[in-house]
Amino acid sequence: MTGFLLLVVAASGSERLTVHRFLGCSSRSLLAAAEVGCCCLTMHRFVKYILDGLMNILVLAPLVVTYWRGTFHVLDIYLLPDPALRVASHWLSIAVAVVGLLIFGYLQDWMRQRVNATKSPISEIMLKRIYCYFFGLMCVNHWRGVWGLWDIYTGYTLASGLYSFGSGVAILLMTRGFCNTLSPPLIAACDLNDDFFQITTRFQVPRSVTCLYLLDSLFSIVVMGSAVVGVVRGFWYILDNVHEQSIFSYMLSLLAAVLLMIITLFLQKPASIVSAKLEGSGHWWLKIIFEDCYMVLGMMTGINAWRAVWGIWDLYVYPQDRVLSAWIGHVVGQLGLMLMYHASSALVKGISVDGAAPAGQGCFLPSNSLVMFQQEGRRMRNLHERAKEIQRRSIATAAVEEGDDLMGKGVPQMEAIDKDSVVHVKTAPVAPTDCDDYSVSGKLQSNLQRYYGDTLGGQSEKRQSLVGSADEPPPKT
């Protein structure tokens, strides 16, 4: 980065003060330093990119598959396990899932407000964990029900896989929802994101129109969500019928998943450029077709990875004890994702629309787990710094009003400050920092109150009595 800045200054052509005169070195040396700096920056991004991919394919995706496999089998064991009630068991799974997902979608704003209103960060984390657990049960119930009914009515043959895959692809292409076939390791969702509770629908009907919103949600779950299950099941069974279900077949799927993931991730930038050009030239349908073709790579990556991990678990993790194997997968997968703050990665939250993202953004896959942690850590750090600044100014205001010595309050830099200046400082807004999309008024204030409790609340009341309302001018001395 330093070399890049030096190159920019040197290229400005200033006669009064040039960089090579100031540093006593030649312009060629500066160019070399700039190249080294840019290479270091590029290498840093490349290493982080590789680490992201390795963490997703080696840690995150196996935990997600482990959780889904364990929960899937737990439901098989305990939800109407009688073979005579097999059909009823899968229909019951669908009914529970549809009702539960409708409730989660309709109450998402209420849940967000209640969780954000908690004063304790530990309480917020626990509430989000409970939310993820029950939402995950709804998602697995839906997939289990649809998958099981396909098995009951069409069997496990290659023809069944082809029919399931073809019908699912046709429905998703007609409804512009093929991008929803993506899954970990190409998808990662951090539990610290602001959109943690957001559940999208196909037609984006506002929740204020209750009847239409419920119909939109029902269409998104029953039609498009079930079509995604059909695509995944069909491609999975095609692989099972082409290759024998053995460790060699599963390792081959794992190798294919790794190679396809590398290709897909490195094609993100070129694909986004092509998509943006198609959009700019007005070829809207060509843009959608191109992005769907790119998503085929992502779909094959996810299904191969899931099939490999699922099959390895079936072969090596207590295959003789189905109950123990199921519970181990359920507990280990859920706890591992919660400890990594990625429990949301195991959830199916809403519907995305093909070609809806502008400027080629639809070709960028949200799989950068390390970047997510860095962004959220920077947000929280800036949040605490701004909270401390507000607290320091509150103490200064109270000290001036009460006639206390500011030196004793830990504010040595404000020794000679009068009451009027403190009032002006307090009425001025806090300057925003580079904490991405945090808003000062909404989310920040609730978090400040949560992290600093009554300290800010009491000081703000005292300050309000000094300063008056925000619309009043500062008092004159």
pLDDT of residue 191: 87
Q: Output the furthest CA–CA distance in the chain (Å, rounded).
A: 90
- Closest by alpha carbon to 298, among 344, 321, 275, 265? 265
| Range among 51-55, 277-281, 367-371 rated most confident | 277-281
Q: Rounded distance, CA 164 to CA 151, Å?
A: 10
Q: What is the pLDDT of residue 263?
A: 93
Question: Which residues are within 8 A (CB) of 386 and not within 5 positions of it... i.e. 6 or more apart?
Answer: 430, 433, 440, 444, 448
Binned at pLDDT 50, 70 and 90, residue 435 comes out as very low
Q: Return the amino acid letter for 443.
A: K
Using CB atoms within 10 Å of the CB of residue 236, give its burial: 0 to 12 exposed, 13 to 18 middle, 19+ buried: buried
Vertex 117: Cα angle to 115 and 120 (nearest 5): 80
469, with CB counted inside 10 A (0-12, 13-18, 19+), is exposed
Give the integer Cα–Cα distance in Å for 304 and 67.
17
**According to the model, what pLDDT value does residue 388 have?**
77
What is the torsion angle, in degrees rounded to the nearest 10, for the CA atoms of residue 221, residue 226, residue 231 and residue 236? Answer: 120
Out of 8-22, 241-255, 428-442, the most confident range is 241-255
Secondary structure class of 229 (helix, strand, coil)? helix
Map residue 476 onto helix, strand or coil.
Answer: coil
Confidence check: pLDDT of 5 > 80: no
> Which residue in this structure is represented by tokens 């005169």?
21
Q: How many separate helices (H) and strands (E) can be counted in the chain?
A: 18, 0
Structural element, H or E, at residue 343:
none
**CB of 212 within 8 A of CB of 144?**
no
Residue 426 near residue 441 (C-beta atoms within 8 A): no
This prediction has a pTM of: 0.73
Burial 398-430 (b: 16+ CB within 10 A, else e): bbbeeeeebeeeebeebeeeeeeebbeebeeee
DSSP labels, 78-90: HSS--GGGHHHHH
Confidence of residue 144 (pLDDT cuts 50, 70, 90): very high
Q: What b/e readout covers 326-344, taking b as 16+ CB neighbours within 10 angstroms?
A: bbbbbebbbebbbebbbbb
Burial (CB count within 10 angstroms: exposed 0-12, middle 13-18, buried 19+), residue 196: buried
CA gyration radius, the chain: 28
Per-residue model confidence as pLDDT tens digits over 226-278: 999 999 999 999 999 988 888 999 999 999 999 999 999 889 999 999 999 99
| 448 pLDDT higher than 60 | no
Angle between helices 226-242 and 284-316 (to 10 degrees): 60
For 252, half-sphere exposure in the C-beta direction (CA atoms, 13 angstrom radius) is 10
pLDDT averaged over every residue in the chain: 79
What are 395's two structure tokens? 């103490």
Contact between 313 and 164 (Cβ < 8 Å): no
Select from 413, 415, 447, 441 the least CA-distant residue to 429: 441
> Each residue of 49-62: b (16+ CB within 10 Å) or e?
beebbebbbebbbb
Region of residue 50 (phi > 0: left; psi between -120 and 50: alpha; otherwise: beta):
alpha
Rounded Cα distance, 356 and 127, in Å: 32
pLDDT at 444: 44
pLDDT per position as a tens digit, 334-346: 999 999 889 999 9
Residue whose token pair is 């029950």? 134
> Region 27-35: what's the mean pLDDT?
46
Give the mean pLDDT of 323-336.
Answer: 96
